[in-house]
Structure 1
Amino acid sequence: MTDKKVLFVSSEVMPYLPENETSLMSFEAPRMVNDRGGQIRIFMPRYGNINERRHQLHEVIRLSGMNLVVNDMDMPLIIKVASIPKERIQVYFIDNEEYFKRKATFNDKEGNLFPDNDERAIFFAKGVVETVKKLNWSPDIIHVHGWMASLLPLYLKKYYEDEPLFSESKIVTSVYNKGFEGTLDTKMMDKVLFDGFEKEKVAALETPDYTNLMKVATANSDGVIVASENIPEELQKHISSLDVPTLPFVPIYEFEEAYMEFYNKEILKLTS
């Protein structure tokens, strides 16, 4: 992986959020690539329950300041950055007062999904792309983790399809068992269609549950990693139907060699 550029985009990353399969692998995979000579960037949302003082987040003024349109609303983009101690790894945080100030990640105190989680996902996807454009950093691989990041493959393949910075980038989506109960806002598909997508490309979002979000993500990816031992059967069948390289589940103590082989032999060998 020497000098290869890998962009990691995740819903959750340790140590900024508690450990689970998604946050752990969103830390371990970049650490592994970094240790093996690759260049990495990590992006995640700046949820309000992340302790900015403890983790020493600070705003990057030169990257902040643009507005992103979500469902015909202008939403200011704020970029913050922090370094993971002892790892020489920087993490970029996508922030917005309206979407990410609340002191929680995905759910309110009663355990209900936030009603604007769909708009947060749209904002996050666009925010990542626009920030990477400002950095003028062209990744060889874009590796997506977690459902809050699940719209990124769709937006890269369709909305940003003419963006030269990503013309050679290959998208890998990791699929986890950790999703959410119920659905996001039932008007989610309309909000995505506002950005000019063909209805058939986003039809699954008519019922925006976890399985359908991940169907959209994997259908727009160049490779898929099954990152949990058990994932929903419907999702497993969908992945099996895709004509893309797929890495079956491997336990964490074996992931390094498996991921490196997958990146090098399956993903980087793909031609546009």
Structure 2
Amino acid sequence: MPNQKILYVTTEMFPYQEESNMAMMVNKMALKMHQEGNDVRVFMPRFGLISERKFQLHEVIRLSGMNIIINDLDQPLIIKVASLPGERLQVYFIDNEEYFKRKQYYFDDNGESFSDNDERAIFFARGVIETIKKLNWVPDIIHINGWMASFIPIYLKNYYKTDSYFSDTKIVLSMYNEKDALFEDNIKEKLEFDNIKDLKALENPTFQNFVVESMKLVDTVVKGDEFLEENLDKAYEESDTKKFDYVSGDSINEVY
């Protein structure tokens, strides 16, 4: 169905990342829906590995001046934008020197997960939500891709639960086999600062468990990888949320 406003929130997208299934899937889904006449926008983190010069990113001045408070610390929110190479499809990048300048994604050169991955996810989720509101653009569908993006439904259903801006928006979550890691113990305090409590994921706060937590809060769950790891597949099978087995990027409109 054309003429829908569709927001893809992702941590990976081709050509900004080239090797993962998620990056290719998001590229295919966004292009497919864009070419069918929908108003499509993509939001992702501006990881330090993404070349601003190569992909012609530039700061959106009219969206500047916003700050996000994370655990009582004021962090400036910088929004950059680029067109997907060869397409009239806008990709917005959530940026912040403290969280996204480093030249790795979630793990340091020794394979250790960053101690502030929780803050980075909170900043990204709230940054996307606040930027969409400032754009005065209400999506019909938000399609979540990647563990970091899974914080968005958690925030929408808790921190923003009295905000009617997204009340008619349908949320779709794609599940992928991503490298898992444990958050620091103080993630509970950081979420409680935003009045988010009683999450089952906090019993064992890992990337994957936050994805599983968000499954309960969305309208539809889709397998982003055809075969999920055992614990993800178990959560998928046990979920009461409306489900679609693996759907290729070219046929994603079946889900919407």
Using the size of structure 1 for normalisation, the TM-score is: 0.90
CA deviations 1:66-92 (Å, max 9, x no partner) are 110111111110000011111211100
User: 2:147 touches 2:208 (CA, 8 Å); kept in 1?
Assistant: no
Match of 1:183 in 2: 182
Match of 2:8 in 1: 8
Match of 2:53 in 1: 53
Match of 1:233 in 2: 230
Secondary structure of 1:150's match?
A: helix
Tell me the amino acid that sits aligned with residue 210 of structure 1: F
Structure 1: stretches of 5+ with no match in the other structure:
264-272
CA distance in 1, matches of 2:185, 2:245: 32
Moved more, 32-41 or 238-247: 238-247
CA deviations 1:146-192 (Å, max 9, x no partner) are 01111011111221122222110011110001232x31222212211
CA distance in 2, matches of 1:125, 1:133: 13
Q: 1:204 aligns with which of 198, 201, 206?
A: 201
CA distance in 2, matches of 1:37, 1:161: 31
Moved more, 230-239 or 99-108: 230-239
Displacement after TM superposition at 1:144 (Å): 0.3
Structure 2: stretches of 5+ with no match in the other structure:
none
Match of 1:218 in 2: 215
Superposed, 1:28-39 pairs within 5 Å as 28-39=28-39
Tell me the amino acid that sits aligned with residue 256 of structure 1: D
CA distance in 2, matches of 1:123, 1:141: 21
Q: CA RMSD in A?
A: 1.4
Q: Which runs of 4+ in 1 moved over 3 A?
A: none
Moved more, 6-15 or 154-163: 154-163
Match of 1:256 in 2: 250
Displacement after TM superposition at 1:12 (Å): 1.1
In structure 2, relative to structure 1, the CA distance for the partners of 1:106 and 1:246 (3 Å cut) is same
CA deviations 1:21-66 (Å, max 9, x no partner) are 1111111111110011111110000111111011100000111211
CA deviations 1:89-138 (Å, max 9, x no partner) are 11000001110111121121112211111100000000000000000111
Task: Flag the structure with more relative contact order, 1 or 2, with Cα contacts below 8 A and sequence separation at least 6.
Answer: 2
Aligned-pair identity in percent equals 48
Tell me the amino acid that sits aligned with residue 69 of structure 1: I
Displacement after TM superposition at 1:244 (Å): 2.1
Superposed, 1:1-272 pairs within 5 Å as 1-180=1-180, 182-199=181-198, 202-250=199-247, 252=248, 255-257=249-251, 259-263=252-256
Moved more, 234-243 or 152-161: 234-243
CA distance in 2, matches of 1:234, 1:107: 22
CA deviations 1:189-217 (Å, max 9, x no partner) are 22112111232xx1312322232111112
Q: What is the aligned residue count?
A: 256
Using the size of structure 2 for normalisation, the TM-score is: 0.95
